[in-house]
Structure 1
Amino acid sequence: MLSVVLAVSSMLATPVIIAHRGASGERPEHTRMAYERAIDQGADIIEPDLVMSADGHLVVRHENAIGETTDVADHPQFADRKTTRMVDGVEITGWFTEDFTLAELKTLRAKERLPLLRPASAAFDGQDPILTFDEVVTIAREASARTGRSIGVAPELKHPLHFRSRNLNIEDAFVAELERLDLTGADAPVLVQCFEVGPLERLSKRIDTPLLQLMQVFGGPADRPDMTYADMATPEGLAAIRTYAGFIGVQDQMILPRDDRSAALPATSLVADAHAADLKVVVWTFRAENIFLPLEHRSNESPSDHGDLTGYLNRFYDLKVDAVFSDFPALAVGAKLGRLP
């Protein structure tokens, strides 16, 4: 397993800045315009979430339910595909990628997922189609050639257990795509993420590409009902993760918890414990809107107004985290640059 910067560049200054679904605070997420804007703003890595089409293609959407992020509801020919389905124990009503071929998905256009919080981004609704994984890799490779910087890609495998229940194997499809794109080596500019444990354990035996175990404050992996993320964040849990992955990707509040007023509490020992286990720490997700920030970094009471994201990021930079995910990569880059001598 490689050091903090994977192999995305000969040497990137830490923390590495990962554009969460592109510059998704300013453009509809997972679109070409969002990824290219993030790269122009200085992001080191761009992140595509991967789900599957009915014909086995890896498509880039935050969830397999696409009612909130595409104009599928405006296509009368797809009205009868609306259904209710259980995904990782949660009942969801809408349209699902696994019920569409790639050709059908390509007829849809992306839209802003949080239009009330991000109306400026919603102004770009309807312009970009859904991307495939290989198209995102191409965006990164073309940007690397254009800018002279090595731009990495951090794909997240979404709901592998659910897709298996639909006779779609996202792991096999993903490995085949990595092999086709020559991205299976330890020096590949790729960081593979998943909230489930089994897929990463199996991938660690099939590819040398760096792997990241995702964790959040509540719950546990869908494929390990007897395991919680809190257990995984203990020294013993971290040692177990290190047997198959070199990175953890943790929700910000696992490091800076919040009290009942949403004010940040003192930092936990998670960063130090992970580093002691020889794991790199990536933190998600840094957003500028007040609703996502702790009380002391908010600008006022309006949920959509921007607060002091730079100050919040600096608290994590002070803790020596190795990378951050941000919807606003320009602010994350600016905070990092502001600390350089």
Structure 2
Amino acid sequence: MSRIPRRPRVVAHRGASGTLPEHTLAAYEQALREGADGLECDVRLTSDGHLVCTHDRRIDRTSTGTGLVSEHTLDSLSDLDFGSWHPSDDAEPAGVLTLDTLIELVLDHKAPTKLFIETKHPVRYGGLVESRLLGTLSRYGLATPPSANHARVVVMSFSAAAVWRVRRSAPLLPTVLLGEMSRYLGGGAAMTVGATAVGPSIRALHRHPDLVDRAAAAGRATYCWTVDEPDDIRLCRDLGVGWIATNHPGRTRELLEAR
């Protein structure tokens, strides 16, 4: 008898960013209402050492300001609008989202939602990003889970060095080594840095569908990004991908549950 794979868990990529401005509190609240199993965010350090949720090095695309995140203080970012740029009719002005606020949203949610945090590299602050991140997680009691399975936070990066810094300092925290190349993810890099999961793009997964089984054989889960199209969602389900990041968490979950 053939085994029916467990459906992938749905991770809201930058919140419900297909319908609301990415990395805003409203987008994450919407993702939770749509039943996302996890929330994904990118973090960067401000010039005064605060972790804020934003993808780009510059704030020009997603705010009313300009310049590098790393050259702004939290107060200067708080004066800007990070919501009105979005074309959605439901988009409203929004302040910059701090990691603290997002963590509190996750911890206050009634369902045990996981938070997937990506540290961006290269950056001028280097390993200070991971250090500040682990310090923040420690304040909330999230840096030392009883086991990887019971962790509420997963740390991810395209930087193998960043993943290694997290594994060395917080060995029970799950980590994902992100990448585009199957040889990189399926080879020695993930093993060397101790990543508990690999994170191929959906494009890489199409080229190398065997990556999921290879990761599983090494005891690693698979996290795939960014999965929005129905055929891509079905591919991840059929291959046994553990977690899929999508801009449309509600729609993606409906498709997975309507098989």
- Does the alignment reach a TM-score above 0.5? yes
- Structure 2 equivalent of residue 71 of structure 1: 64
Question: What is the CA–CA distance in structure 1 between the aligned matches of 2:209 and 2:24, rounded to whole Å?
Answer: 35
Question: What is the CA–CA distance in structure 2 between the aligned matches of 1:125 and 1:99, rounded to whole Å?
Answer: 27
Question: What is the CA–CA distance in structure 1 between the aligned matches of 2:254 and 2:244, rounded to whole Å?
Answer: 13
In structure 2, the CA distance between the partners of 1:209 and 1:103, relative to structure 1 (3 Å rule), is: same
- Structure 2 equivalent of residue 272 of structure 1: 213
Question: What is the CA–CA distance in structure 2 between the aligned matches of 1:48 and 1:317, rounded to whole Å?
Answer: 23
- For structure 1, the 5+ residue unaligned runs are 1-12, 74-94, 217-228, 258-266, 288-308
What is the identity, as a one-letter code, of the residue corresponding to 1:130?
V
- Structure 2 equivalent of residue 190 of structure 1: 153
- Structure 1 equivalent of residue 120 of structure 2: 158
- Structure 2 equivalent of residue 324 of structure 1: 244
Displacement of 1:237: 4.3
In our comparison, the structure showing a higher alpha carbon Rg is 1
Question: What is the CA–CA distance in structure 1 between the aligned matches of 2:93 and 2:151, rounded to whole Å?
Answer: 31
Question: What is the CA–CA distance in structure 1 between the aligned matches of 2:118 and 2:187, rounded to whole Å?
Answer: 24
1:157–1:194 Cα contact (<8 Å) kept: yes
TM-score of the pair, normalised by structure 2: 0.89
Write the mapping of 1:218-297 to structure 2, written as runs, cut at 5 A.
Answer: 229-241=181-193, 244-257=194-207, 268-287=209-228
- Structure 1 equivalent of residue 16 of structure 2: 23
The answer to whether the aligner puts 1:46 opposite 2:39 as a matched pair is yes
- Structure 2 equivalent of residue 37 of structure 1: 30
What is the identity, as a one-letter code, of the residue corresponding to 2:138?
E
Displacement of 1:24: 0.1
Q: How many residues align?
A: 249
Displacement of 1:232: 1.3
What is the identity, as a one-letter code, of the residue corresponding to 2:199?
G
Q: Secondary structure of the residue that 2:43 maps to in structure 1?
A: strand
Structure 2 counterpart of 1:202, from 148, 158, 165: 165
Question: What is the CA–CA distance in structure 2 between the aligned matches of 1:174 and 1:236, rounded to whole Å?
Answer: 26
- Structure 1 equivalent of residue 130 of structure 2: 171
In structure 2, the CA distance between the partners of 1:248 and 1:112, relative to structure 1 (3 Å rule), is: farther
Percent identity of equivalent pairs? 27
Structure 2 counterpart of 1:109, from 51, 56, 81: 81
Question: What is the alpha-carbon root mean square deviation over aligned residues?
Answer: 1.9
2:177–2:190 Cα contact (<8 Å) kept: no
- Structure 1 equivalent of residue 3 of structure 2: none
Displacement of 1:236: 4.1
Q: Secondary structure of the residue that 2:79 maps to in structure 1?
A: coil
